[in-house]
Amino acid sequence: MVTIIDHRALSRDGLAKAIKDADAGYAVETFASFDDWLVDEDAPQRTSIIIISINAGSDAEDHAREIGALDCLRTHHPSIHVLALGDDEDPDLVVGALACGVQGYLSRGLSVSVVLGAIRLVQSGGVFVPAGSLLRLHQRRSTHPRDPTEEFLTAQQAKVAQKLLTGKANKAIAHELNIHESTVKVHVRNIMRKLQARNRTEVAFKLNTWLQLNRKRDLF
């Protein structure tokens, strides 16, 4: 069973119809939210693949909810393959989604044949990333991206940043670090400001890029 979770009815119903019409042998069901999927107690047993919508323009609360959903899937339903669905192929969004444990990223501009190919790929253990996103990432890196360490994080901010890299929601970070959730929100805002990041996914992207750059330096 392929499950599509998207709050936009036209988007989820259109994708569901396209997959069914392709006659590729996939049963499809749709939900407006991750919470709706959880309420249906039998849904996890029916589901082998989830396509879940994430949004680059989400506000902090919505974004925390999306990260929490991906974290829940990874922790409590590890056998279910997860594909993130976004509006475009922004490398920041793609890398952020992969950092949260999804097996692939789909943009709404992809053809149904590519979507079906991505589904088959993740079912066989692969990871799907749109070619357009890889090209944009290559172009960006070729211009020597700014090193986030030019503005240092405090020790506590670094701890919060490490949790962000694993896709933790603010509430989970607060619990693990034994601090108030409001304090976590302040740290996240300051981290975003220091890294000149627009959202949490871009924070994850920039931190991952910095870590990769430092690993390369350590080799020489």
CA atoms within 13 A on the CB side of 117: 8
50/87 same-domain check: yes
Phi, psi of 167 (to 5 degrees): 80, 20
Overall number of domains in the chain: 2
161/135 same-domain check: no
The span from the CA of 180 to the CA of 174, in Å, is 6
Q: What is the mean pLDDT of residues 181-209?
A: 82
Q: Per-residue pLDDT tens for 16-74?
A: 999 999 988 899 999 999 999 999 989 989 999 999 998 755 555 666 677 788 888 88
130/158 same-domain check: no
- Give the range of the structural domain holding residue 124, as residue numbers without chain letter: 2-140
The span from the CA of 81 to the CA of 53, in Å, is 14
163: which 2 tokens?
Answer: 């949790």
Are 165 and 157 in contact by the 8 Å Cβ rule? The answer is: no
The span from the CA of 171 to the CA of 189, in Å, is 15
Q: What percent of the chain has pLDDT over 90?
A: 34
Residue 140, pLDDT score: 61
Domain holding 175: CATH number? 1.10.10.10
79/111 same-domain check: yes
Nearest to 184 by CA among 197, 176, 62: 176
Query: Which of 103, 120, 140 finishes a domain?
Result: 140
Single-letter amino acid, residue 43: A
97/131 same-domain check: yes
The span from the CA of 46 to the CA of 68, in Å, is 21
Q: Per-residue pLDDT tens for 73-131?
A: 888 899 999 999 988 777 777 877 887 888 999 988 889 999 999 999 999 989 898 87
Query: Which of 115, 140, 165 finishes a domain?
Result: 140
Query: Which of 98, 119, 140 finishes a domain?
Result: 140
41: which 2 tokens?
Answer: 């107690």
66/117 same-domain check: yes
Domain holding 102: CATH number? 3.40.50.2300
The span from the CA of 36 to the CA of 80, in Å, is 17
